[in-house]
Structure 1
């Protein structure tokens, strides 16, 4: 059984670590992952809905990822562009590792964490170079019938000397007609993804490492703007795209000294929605107009500096971070009305500056690991908004090795998230900030255990884990259509997580069950209702078997029973009980690495094996009474070939 060691104390690794922090590039390649849903689908307590790549939304522990911290190579992705599209602009082909930390119980996870953290790390040159290699390349080609998705990836990598390595990667992935589980064909979401990665790794000596990277993402087409909504066969759509440019500098100083392990990063991230020029009619004056190309931009820049020290039974990590966010609209020219008047569409919206200090002490003694931490945030609004918020947030995690096999766990994290900027597509000069803008605050509590079953099951590795959590968010405020920064409700979320991991010889197995529930109270009407994620059970199965040295089989499935939830409409001020239909989805994949063709790999797969017609329970139109349902893609045959040279 894998273990964590700090001095002489040995505590078994948790089942949650085994599953939540285990999405590697190898797994993504074997399963032919090509979007955020493919990347995250195996993770417990994480759910992704939507069929088109640009419309996929991510939920973790009962809330959207707008309440999580998302980083790529340490660069924070912030803000919401448009409420009918997703904001995790991640290309699976560039990823080295993906990890998710559930909950807000760590002082090291960054500012504003409520439900979790998503950490994406792109590939290094060393991930491609075999021992003794100095230069090489890799070409990957793939096709998926469910999306008519044609994908090509090229990577070039090298080791100039012992101090300098590089990797350059580029991917083009074109989507055509989407074929849904109900037999419908969708042509209004055709798009083309272009992504790239350039990275230098510099090692002046054994103690210092610099990583400098640029990551480009652009997904666009003549497609409907609302990616999560129901599609059509219409192909007469204006061009729009979602893009991201990310620059990062990461540095590590690790001398032969237990008191010093410095990690630092600085970054600039620009994520933007582009809409081409078009014609329209003003709703107030009824005048027609011609509108230029516009860009709706969310920019994030910042830094993080930390050091870890080993002092006897203590592992102490302390540091500081800073985040700056801003939103703006850029137009090529003026909007021109039919009466020859004009309007300048350029606009600078809100800004955020967050300064953070944090400290965490992981202490190991007897059969205990006690982790105490805290972070202090000073949060200031700027631009068209104003307000200052600050708070000290304590954190606590406990692990107790009750017996050789049983580990007990508990955790607490105070929640603090300053008012987030509203969606950028909707921001304009008429926005008026509410007179009582508040930070979102709350508390997270969780308890659980892990039981090592390795000996009992005569396995190479086997563990079962359970977790129960509950957290509240006062002055909950979603960013959708909320450019006044209004607090909307008080919310309570609770849930259960059960996970089982097993490895024996050539067989690997991961099972999980998660359940989310909660209550929400509208701050204006006082009406209590259910969050959309209420009453959802999700069972996930992942299995892999190394048939021979050349063949490997992977199986994934998801079972979601039907349920009900009490929805609230702020427009009508009333509640309605809706039902959601249950569904089961199965995916299979086969990897073939022929010994006769060195460095060549073939992947064959079928997603949604039985062509199930379904809508995920957080998806658009998921209630059974809806006639406007955004169904997921049906049976999807996948093929991929890779060659490294």
Structure 2
């Protein structure tokens, strides 16, 4: 029934648009000038590779730390977890070149396996207000795009390369990256990038050191771009990420000096992207198909009562997205379909053998998900009003060891009204639908059973705010101030950790506010933001009400940059989080109030490109200058009474040398 509704809505929208288009002058897609820049866009939708290189970004925390309403906890790469608008990234859609990265391998490690050295641009979409962001979005979307050959090649250049060497003292991190790129002819280009990064002793604030998180990252990208003609472009790519070592399995927990067994987290991603863009305002086709594997490997181990062989815990995602964008008068319409298949499994090289002689087969085929989606979004410029209407229909089907189907039509809306030349009012709405997600793969076993009442997560997101252009007022090249308040609710909220029964755990309501300010004048730039998150959560089993983990958190961020000389650029950034309390609930202890201590960190970075050394770049920086010992408020053991606190890295002196040939 809902599929029919979705088709009807789409048909009505297209019919209405077509009628209006008859009396409107056609405009080519490239010539559309719909004003969409906001204070939020200025800080969350344009994190470029140049910015990451200037800050010597070497993990996902470095990539995302400047973004408002985003907090990254943890120290080592595999320990880092991302929170946005009060919930972590298991409530987000994450893509690398359009390939969806899904599932949870292990609850004491993160799942965003991202190497900044491969990235071209990073974008974050806050909230579930766009029909184009994919399925299952509750709090936002993370979009990572890797580098193309054209990002390196100069006009008429046939072949080139770039070598980068770096060191960071806080992790004893030694990094080397080599990129080669070329143009075979006027139709075919290629790029290959390889990075090796070794982490040694981890040093937290105050000077304490740990050896249990030593690891080695090996990552790479191979991409071929084929421009068959002016209208057709094909991109073929393979991206690998492997972070491994003799290290503690629970990267999220506090480090030790104990000897540890080998484990690794690996991602293999294959992509085919196609774009057809003829000289026709009705046609701009983009298609993407992908295959993605992310897996945790543990070597053979011996315990007190049994021995286990080498095991591999794997999440596999494959799918496609097919969309077209058409211009019809004042309307920019994007419509399409997507499909995602997810599955999980545990494979072992043998049996678990107990000291009693009993054996146990550890191989398990787990759950599967098939999600099919239809979507449409119409962005229209109506004089002073920019109105975006959209909807997506999802059909979510469980398989493997699970069973059930869930379907929903989700309307979306964004509106911006230019009240004066400076002041724009904004509002947004997004219906939330996320079908039951697969549970944590490490906890998957042959005894896993499905809950009798598996439910989809359903809710609504509301936003209201404004942007004020301060360019003329402050005599700036560009300046804008933005404010936004939001509130969203999620019924039947479910989290994958230790939840292989797929049971619903709570009803949650999150609300918050975001303030952003940007200023640019000559050689100086400033970004500042404040975000606040609060909410309430109700346990479905007991009816107890308590605070979500991200409740009562204020997050202040400031970033300054200045072109000191033609050859020298400097930047300073700081983050301040006041102390707070929150009420945590567990079925064993009930509701307990905990305190989190406040903290502030300060970073400086410099980029030097000497004219006397062409194609050479020196980067120098110091993170956490004052060696503050702190735990992110979303981090493991954030409460001040905890004896197992995952402190962030201390003072981190960074140096990097790059040479292009």
TM-score by length of 1: 0.97
Alignment partner of 1:249 out of 272, 287, 295: 272
Whole-angstrom distance in 1 between the partners of 2:395 and 2:242: 33
1:311-390 mapped onto 2 (5 Å cutoff): 311-390=328-407
Q: 2:234 matched to 1:217?
A: no
- SS in structure 1 at match of 2:154: coil
Whole-angstrom distance in 2 between the partners of 1:497 and 1:323: 32
How far residue 227 of structure 1 moved from its aligned partner, in angstroms, is 0.4
Number of equivalences: 633
Q: 2:279 matched to 1:262?
A: no
Relative to structure 1, the CA distance from residue 370 to residue 12 in structure 2 (aligned partners, 3 Å threshold; closer, same or farther) is: closer
Relative to structure 1, the CA distance from residue 12 to residue 86 in structure 2 (aligned partners, 3 Å threshold; closer, same or farther) is: closer
Alignment partner of 2:635 out of 615, 619, 622: 619
Alignment partner of 1:239 out of 253, 259, 262: 262
Alignment partner of 1:595 out of 611, 618, 638: 611
How far residue 340 of structure 1 moved from its aligned partner, in angstroms, is 3.5
Q: 2:656 matched to 1:640?
A: yes
Q: Hey, what does 2:410 align to over in structure 1?
A: 393
Q: Hey, what does 2:43 align to over in structure 1?
A: 19
Whole-angstrom distance in 1 between the partners of 2:537 and 2:655: 45
Alignment partner of 1:85 out of 109, 113, 118: 109
Whole-angstrom distance in 2 between the partners of 1:635 and 1:8: 47
Q: 2:68 matched to 1:49?
A: no
Alignment partner of 2:487 out of 456, 470, 473: 470
Q: Hey, what does 1:197 align to over in structure 2?
A: 221
Q: Hey, what does 2:563 align to over in structure 1?
A: 546
TM-score by length of 2: 0.95
CA contact (8 A) 1:11 1:401 kept: no
Structure 1, 448-457 or 563-572: larger mean CA deviation: 563-572
Whole-angstrom distance in 1 between the partners of 2:334 and 2:384: 22
Q: Hey, what does 1:454 align to over in structure 2?
A: 471
Alignment partner of 2:592 out of 562, 569, 576: 576
Alignment partner of 1:67 out of 91, 94, 97: 91
Q: Hey, what does 2:59 align to over in structure 1?
A: 35
Q: Hey, what does 1:275 align to over in structure 2?
A: 298
How far residue 628 of structure 1 moved from its aligned partner, in angstroms, is 1.9
Whole-angstrom distance in 2 between the partners of 1:513 and 1:351: 40
How far residue 19 of structure 1 moved from its aligned partner, in angstroms, is 0.5
How far residue 364 of structure 1 moved from its aligned partner, in angstroms, is 1.2
Structure 1, 621-630 or 85-94: larger mean CA deviation: 621-630
How far residue 350 of structure 1 moved from its aligned partner, in angstroms, is 0.4
Whole-angstrom distance in 2 between the partners of 1:130 and 1:512: 36
Structure 1, 359-368 or 484-493: larger mean CA deviation: 359-368
Q: Hey, what does 1:557 align to over in structure 2?
A: 574
Whole-angstrom distance in 2 between the partners of 1:167 and 1:12: 33
Whole-angstrom distance in 2 between the partners of 1:54 and 1:10: 41
CA contact (8 A) 1:477 1:486 kept: yes
- SS in structure 2 at match of 1:54: helix
Q: 2:183 matched to 1:147?
A: no
- SS in structure 1 at match of 2:635: coil
Q: Deviations over 1:267-290 (max 9, x none)?
A: 000000000001124xxxxxx322
Structure 1, 325-334 or 529-538: larger mean CA deviation: 325-334
Name the Cα RMSD after superposition. 1.1
Q: Deviations over 1:556-575 (max 9, x none)?
A: 11011111111111223x10
Whole-angstrom distance in 2 between the partners of 1:490 and 1:618: 20
Runs of 4+ in structure 1 deviating by more than 6 angstroms, as ranges, are 5-9
Whole-angstrom distance in 1 between the partners of 2:372 and 2:36: 35
Q: Hey, what does 1:491 align to over in structure 2?
A: 508
Whole-angstrom distance in 2 between the partners of 1:589 and 1:366: 43
Whole-angstrom distance in 2 between the partners of 1:506 and 1:378: 51
Q: Deviations over 1:446-467 (max 9, x none)?
A: 0111111111111111001011
